[in-house]
Structure 1
Amino acid sequence: MGPLLPDSVRRHAVLRPDAPAITEAGQTLTYAALDSRSNKIAQALLAEGLEAGARVGFLVRPGRMSAELLLACAKSGLVATPLNWRLAEPELRAVALDAGLRMVIAQEEFQAGARAAMPELPLVTAGEPAPGASAYESWLEAAPDGDPGRGGEADADTVFLQLYTSGTTGLPKGVQLTLANVYAGETETTEAGWSEDSVSLNVLPVFHIAGTGWLASALSAGAHTVTLPDLVPQRVVDVLESERVTHVLFVPAVLQMLTQLPDIRERDFSALQLIVYGASPITPSLLRRSMEVFGCHFSQRYGQTETTGSVTRLLPADHDPDGPRAHLLRSAGNACPGAEVVIADLITGKPVPDGTVGEILTRSHHVTPGYWKRPEDNARLFTQEGWLRTGDAGYLDEEGYLFITDRIKDMVITGGENVYPIEVESALAEHPAVSDVAVFGTPDEQWGEAVTAAVVLNAGARDTSEDELIDFTRPRIASYKRPRIIHFVDDLPRNPSGKVLKHVLKRGLTGGDSDVS
């Protein structure tokens, strides 16, 4: 294993001190400055009395702070816990309590939410300090500029990152990730075409593994990362063109937005070398249109937070919509370097022959050591042989290409966000007019899937509207989890044990087949 993330940044700071590392809103941090500032933040965190393994929460958009805080935690032996600023206050507090956060760092716009959800925690804010809060720059400048020295080879298996993903019970689970988990080997770096001359665009928040992993890959390679605080399609296109971006990661919903811009085919994307896409299904028509518009290489990634983002990849050479292997575009590619993928029988857990559908299992150095304080969930996550159960179903062809056929966990993926139906069902069920509810995903051209609910109303509440129910969920769940479509039904089909037959429900409402049962 080569240099881990902190050592890579240290190396670039010595050999290429003036090379650009991170650009945000026109302001650039060099690798020397990024190394120095992350050292000072690490020292400031330790000065707060935090011991190794303590969880540090932060509410920050993509940008310089994201990189500084991730590196600072890795260098000091602390665990970075990025928080999803889109969560409602009860959801945010649930994550903070589960993680046992010791302090929180927040950009000014998130200060009020952080204080309301976590009033008992020390708060450091970027911007003007509020009573009881310390301004980020003052806090940083008061710290000594000395590297704590963590993050080298001896710390490869040390947890430095904890990302939260919902569970099938609707409760948040902290996925622990080590420095070795985010390490990208030479083969992976070469496949992606990363170099010290690469320019990466990152619009993905670090509370998603896609955002964290993409940032770590670029920094490890010594590339220049240009960031945007949020995803505004026209602004994304402007930056791709003006900054001569070479590498970017998008979810299919973003590609849909970009390719629909009226002037998109008039733009100059000649610098673009690679677009990586993943996190949700992509239609063949969207992929073909994206390849025509951007004129660069495309690579698909399949994975999840528990696998540090990637299990398989479909390389650019396999993106040939008019060639004899065009059918591979329906696949998720084959195993990433150093990863193993097998298909296991859903009942026996034994490997099945090529072409047979079963559960997708994987092993690699990217696989999480486990959930934070969840021994029962960890027992279900791993087989006795150490394979991680993805919860997805699929099959391998004779060449080792993975075709995903189902999502065992009932998850809805909308715009790259993971939504578990029970969270939405619980929120809707609180409405006094709702007697029964089931939530599932339905195909959506823009978002991949739309969160869809079938609702049985109480007698006497038949005038309750779709808009009323959607509005009711606003303070209870994040915006991306809210249902986009609500069907009112007389009852929900169930099997003898009482389980809702969602495939029957979906077929009756949409006229199509379902991958949920």
Structure 2
Amino acid sequence: MSNTFADIFRDEVLSQPSVLTTSSSTPQNLTLTYGDLKAQISSFISQALSLLNSSHFPGLPIASMLPNGIECLVAFLGTALMRSIPAPLNPAMKQSEVEFYLEDSSSKILLVPANTSFDSHEGVLAAKKLGVQIWTITWKSDTGISLSPLDPNATVSSAPEPDFASVLPSDVALLLHTSGTTGRPKDRTFVVMPMFHVHGLIGSIMSTLISGGSVVLPPRYSASAFWDEYIESKSTWYSAVPTIHQIQLQTKIPENLPKIRFIRSCSASLAPSVLEKLEKNFNAPVLEAYAMTEASHQMCSNPIPPAQHKAGSVGKPQGIELAILDDAGHRVHLGEVCIRGDNVTSGYLNNPSANASSFTKIFDSSTSNAEQDDPSSPNAGKLWFRTGDQGYLDSDGYLFLTGRIKELINRGGEKISPLEIDAVLLNCPGVSEAISFGVDDPLYGQEVYAAVIPNEDSKSLTESDVKEFVAKHLAKFKVPKVVYISDFLPKTATGKIQRKVVAEYFTGKKSQ
């Protein structure tokens, strides 16, 4: 194997299904084999090279603002397999945001859907302002993928036949901004997360394709349509953020609930109580994982049964080395989670100060303070990436996260993990969603605050109810001083709840 995306298209899988669309997708109910997908990617590359003329070179960044679908997947794989760098952007971004990302990534081309309203599209306006070429992409019923320049005067030349063999393992295959067997494959993932996010693109799609499975591409996540399309497409697993899992727990469970091989949760902490409800209601193991963009997504995961998966843990390291270090680079039991491996980024683009603070060596904690490294490790000589997460490893090697180091609440010198408070809040009767956060306080430095959303049948839930419940399970200094009862928690485009954003939303103050 070449250890590149070209390995997806092994001879033994070419006749097997790779991508399926749903009845709400465009195009509807389409099935592509791996051979079909390879042909469409080759077509994309030929068209792209024709539009680029002689200006193509390995490492050319190509940005895109595409919704989930066939076009988005073909554009991503086609860009990578022509040795350019895919840089997918959130289609909901505003012009100023797109301008920043286009400039920051040095992208020369922006891909947008052909049915775009070009006069008002935020990405098109940004690209025109910066002089970035704009290409449109669509799926035609007779020929499949189709690229066109927005500029009617653009020149188009002939292009050589695409050759996946020229792709190198060292080629950069993705630029994101951070906030097999020969038998018939049994895995089919239903894609819930957006494809501009590493969770959807790598955690769901690429992991499935490299294993010879199939991916189902609805145009977007819809709680009301989820189970119908999941069952109709004969999917076997899905991966989502905890917020979406909580939404699914509040939707009606179908009587013909299929056998689910597993449910994966990632990108934010999953409370043990939510994990328990998911497993009970959906009769499937829930595998909590730990991932970040800087590690090409997954770093740790709980294993599939019969191996043990532990509630509250993000599992064991997967494909990386992991160490718990203090600020000085010494090994400790509770400290910052640090990682290294082939999948870990070599650094941030155009940000030397972030690179300097984000990587470290391991040092002996004795007086010599000499550098420590394991010469037998395949990663020997590599620096360790600081994740910014605090945690510890138990005796079985399972990682438990206690919170983001910058999110720990420092109340009068007591360091409080908001994850611990979140877990209790989510066990409180009548609470559907919850989050705790720190707010500046003149006496203690910070105070514990929280916000909760009641269940539909618990609208009479009060702040006192929540405080009294938390006080029964946690020390007094961890009980929130203020609890906001709300019907809304601000979320990111990928469904994450960020403590700083929530704190500012409810208090108007910036949390530390």
CA offset at residue 78 of structure 1?
A: 0.3
- Give the Cα separation in 1 of the matches to 2:46 and 2:448: 47
2:255 paired with 1:266: yes
Question: Is the Cα–Cα contact under 8 Å of residues 294 and 345 in structure 2 kept in the other structure?
Answer: yes
Partner residue in 2 for 1:69? 75
- Give the Cα separation in 2 of the matches to 1:228 and 1:330: 30
Instruction: Work out which of the residue numbers 132, 137, 143 in structure 2 matches 1:121.
Output: 132
2:272 paired with 1:296: no
Offset from partner CA, 1:169-207 (integer Å, 9 cap, x none): xxxxxxxxxxxxxxxxx8xx9xxxx97232111122222
CA offset at residue 15 of structure 1?
A: 3.5
Instruction: Work out which of the residue numbers 331, 346, 364 in structure 2 matches 1:351.
Output: 331
2:389 paired with 1:392: yes
Partner residue in 1 for 2:162? 147
2:3 paired with 1:4: yes
CA offset at residue 273 of structure 1?
A: 0.7
- Give the Cα separation in 2 of the matches to 1:369 and 1:240: 38
Offset from partner CA, 1:355-391 (integer Å, 9 cap, x none): x321110112221122122222112221145111101
Say if 1:68 and 1:479 are closer, same or farther in 2 by CA, change over 3 A.
same
The two structures have a TM-score, normalised by structure 1, of 0.68
- Give the Cα separation in 1 of the matches to 2:169 and 2:452: 41
2:246 paired with 1:242: no
Say if 1:252 and 1:488 are closer, same or farther in 2 by CA, change over 3 A.
closer
Question: Is the Cα–Cα contact under 8 Å of residues 14 and 34 in structure 2 kept in the other structure?
Answer: yes
CA offset at residue 105 of structure 1?
A: 0.7
The alignment's C-alpha RMSD in Å is 3.8
Say if 1:358 and 1:88 are closer, same or farther in 2 by CA, change over 3 A.
same
CA offset at residue 483 of structure 1?
A: 5.1
- Give the Cα separation in 2 of the matches to 1:269 and 1:85: 33
- Give the Cα separation in 2 of the matches to 1:285 and 1:297: 14
2:345 paired with 1:339: no
- Give the Cα separation in 2 of the matches to 1:20 and 1:406: 40
CA offset at residue 404 of structure 1?
A: 0.9
2:212 paired with 1:222: yes
Q: Secondary structure of the residue that 1:371 maps to in structure 2?
A: coil
CA offset at residue 340 of structure 1?
A: 1.3
Partner residue in 2 for 1:380? 357
Question: Is the Cα–Cα contact under 8 Å of residues 360 and 391 in structure 1 kept in the other structure?
Answer: yes
CA offset at residue 5 of structure 1?
A: 4.7
Say if 1:479 and 1:407 are closer, same or farther in 2 by CA, change over 3 A.
closer
- Give the Cα separation in 2 of the matches to 1:363 and 1:109: 41
Offset from partner CA, 1:255-288 (integer Å, 9 cap, x none): 11112113x1523222x21211111122222111
Partner residue in 1 for 2:478? none
Say if 1:251 and 1:445 are closer, same or farther in 2 by CA, change over 3 A.
farther
Q: Which runs of 5+ in 1 are unaligned?
A: 129-134, 167-185, 321-325, 415-420, 422-437, 447-465, 493-499, 503-516
Instruction: Work out which of the residue numbers 7, 12, 15 in structure 2 matches 1:15.
Output: 12
CA offset at residue 100 of structure 1?
A: 0.9
CA offset at residue 319 of structure 1?
A: 8.6
Partner residue in 2 for 1:315? 303
2:79 paired with 1:99: no
Say if 1:333 and 1:127 are closer, same or farther in 2 by CA, change over 3 A.
closer
Q: Secondary structure of the residue that 1:162 maps to in structure 2?
A: coil
Question: Is the Cα–Cα contact under 8 Å of residues 198 and 246 in structure 1 kept in the other structure?
Answer: yes
Instruction: Report matched runs for 1:345-494 at 5 Å.
Output: 345-346=326-327, 348-352=328-332, 356-384=333-361, 386-410=383-407, 442=450, 444=452, 486-488=505-507
Q: Secondary structure of the residue that 2:146 maps to in structure 1?
A: helix
Question: Is the Cα–Cα contact under 8 Å of residues 44 and 146 in structure 2 kept in the other structure?
Answer: no
Question: Is the Cα–Cα contact under 8 Å of residues 68 and 194 in structure 2 kept in the other structure?
Answer: yes
Partner residue in 1 for 2:197? 208
Instruction: Report matched runs for 1:273-284 at 5 Å.
Output: 273-284=261-272
Question: Is the Cα–Cα contact under 8 Å of residues 41 and 143 in structure 1 kept in the other structure?
Answer: no
The two structures have a TM-score, normalised by structure 2, of 0.69
- Give the Cα separation in 1 of the matches to 2:271 and 2:496: 24
Q: Which runs of 5+ in 2 are unaligned?
A: 150-155, 362-381, 409-417, 423-436, 438-445, 455-483
- Give the Cα separation in 1 of the matches to 2:325 and 2:245: 33
CA offset at residue 83 of structure 1?
A: 0.6
- Give the Cα separation in 1 of the matches to 2:339 and 2:147: 45
CA offset at residue 96 of structure 1?
A: 0.8
Question: Is the Cα–Cα contact under 8 Å of residues 56 and 79 in structure 1 kept in the other structure?
Answer: yes
- Give the Cα separation in 1 of the matches to 2:157 and 2:262: 41
Q: Secondary structure of the residue that 1:53 maps to in structure 2?
A: coil
CA offset at residue 444 of structure 1?
A: 4.9
Q: Which amino acid in structure 2 is aligned with residue 156 of structure 1?
A: P
Q: Secondary structure of the residue that 1:303 maps to in structure 2?
A: strand
Percent identity between the two aligned chains: 22
- Give the Cα separation in 1 of the matches to 2:447 and 2:15: 52
- Give the Cα separation in 1 of the matches to 2:135 and 2:19: 22
